[in-house]
């Protein structure tokens, strides 16, 4: 595990929170929880995400869905915190990239407002967001930013992917990045793309 430099107060405590979040004890206990947003979206959570955030996860997700046009009431999604080995396997199997990454999003099959559900009464499944705790910590330390801010950013980023946002071309990237920045600004989290704009 990467240790924070002694002179980096903005990431102080991140190593301990990361260790707590990814401990084998948490995995053995099942470490599953669920939250419901004010927009009626059910979120299954695997891993100890909340202790790593300085804000409530449900408030962060509420902010995402407040910014989005569309009806997602009653939809479901999942967010999982895993280690580098697990995300590397997913990245290799689904993207052909045999290396860890910070976040992967797997949109559900019906991720637009016109989706017809195969069985009446079944909730709309937006998809899965998978985050690597180890990669997040390395990136936060390298960028000298609080781990909680980096994690919040990638939860927002991954969730936006589930509902159709992308950054393949420059125009899409500008729209998605502006939306992420606006959502994070609600929590006094600085623009995560400010270094790229300088």
Domain that holds residue 80: 9-197
Read off the pLDDT of residues 155-164 as tens digits, 9 standing for 90 and up.
999 999 998 8
Confidence at residue 12, expressed as pLDDT on a 0 to 100 scale: 29
pTM of the entire predicted model: 0.80
Residue 89 lies in a domain: yes
If one compares 151 and 55, the residue with the highest pLDDT of the two is 151
Residue 124 banded pLDDT, cuts 50, 70, 90 = confident
Residue 10 DSSP symbol: G
CA distance readout (Å), 90 to 38, 67, 79, 87, 129: 31, 29, 14, 5, 12
Q: How many domains does the chain have?
A: 1
In sequence order, what are the residues at sequence separation of 6 or more whose Cβ sits closer than 8 angstroms to the Cβ of residue 133? 18, 21, 22, 47, 52, 81, 82, 83
Distance between CA atoms of 103 and 87, rounded to whole angstroms? 8
16-30, 51-65, 67-81, 162-176: which has the minimum mean pLDDT?
16-30
Confidence at residue 113, expressed as pLDDT on a 0 to 100 scale: 53
Read off the pLDDT of residues 80-112 as tens digits, 9 standing for 90 and up.
999 999 999 999 999 999 999 999 999 986 555
Residue 119 banded pLDDT, cuts 50, 70, 90 = low
Residue 1 lies in a domain: no
Residue 4 lies in a domain: no
Residue 171 lies in a domain: yes
Residue 15 lies in a domain: yes
In this predicted structure, the answer to whether residue 140 has a pLDDT above a threshold of 50 is yes
Q: Does residue 34 sit in helix, strand or coil?
A: strand
Edge-to-edge strand list for the sheet holding 42-46: 32-36, 42-46, 76-82, 125-132, 103-107
Distance between CA atoms of 130 and 44, rounded to whole angstroms? 12
Confidence at residue 197, expressed as pLDDT on a 0 to 100 scale: 57
Mean pLDDT, residues 127-149 taken together? 95
If one compares 118 and 87, the residue with the highest pLDDT of the two is 87
Residue 2 lies in a domain: no
Confidence at residue 6, expressed as pLDDT on a 0 to 100 scale: 30
Percent of the chain with pLDDT over 90: 52
CATH number of the domain where residue 132 is located: 3.40.390.30
Residue 26 lies in a domain: yes
In this predicted structure, the answer to whether residue 22 has a pLDDT above a threshold of 90 is no
Residue 125 lies in a domain: yes
Rounded to 5°, angle at Cα 35 from 34 and 36: 135
Rounded to 5°, angle at Cα 158 from 42 and 69: 65
Q: Where are the beta strands (DSSP E) in 53-124?
A: 76-82, 103-107
């Amino acid at each position: 595990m990467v240790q924070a430099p002694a002179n980096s107060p903005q990431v102080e405590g991140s190593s301990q929170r990361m260790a707590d979040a990814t401990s084998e004890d948490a995995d053995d206990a099942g470490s599953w929880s669920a939250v419901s947003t004010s927009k009626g979206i059910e979120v299954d959570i695997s891993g100890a995400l909340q202790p790593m955030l300085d804000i409530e996860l449900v408030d962060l997700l509420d902010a995402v869905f407040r910014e989005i046009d569309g009806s997602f009431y009653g939809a479901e999604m999942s967010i999982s915190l895993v280690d580098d080995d697990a995300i590397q396997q997913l990245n290799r199997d689904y993207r052909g990239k045999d290396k860890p990454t910070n976040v992967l999003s797997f949109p559900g099959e019906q991720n637009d407002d016109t989706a017809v559900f195969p069985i009446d009464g079944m909730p709309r499944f937006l998809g899965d967001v998978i985050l690597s705790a180890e990669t997040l910590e390395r990136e936060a330390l390298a960028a000298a930013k609080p781990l909680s801010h980096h994690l919040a950013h990638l939860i927002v980023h991954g969730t936006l992917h589930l509902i159709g946002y992308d950054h393949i071309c420059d125009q899409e990237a500008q729209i998605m990045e502006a939306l992420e920045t606006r959502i994070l600004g609600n929590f006094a989290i600085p623009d995560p793309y400010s270094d790229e704009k300088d």
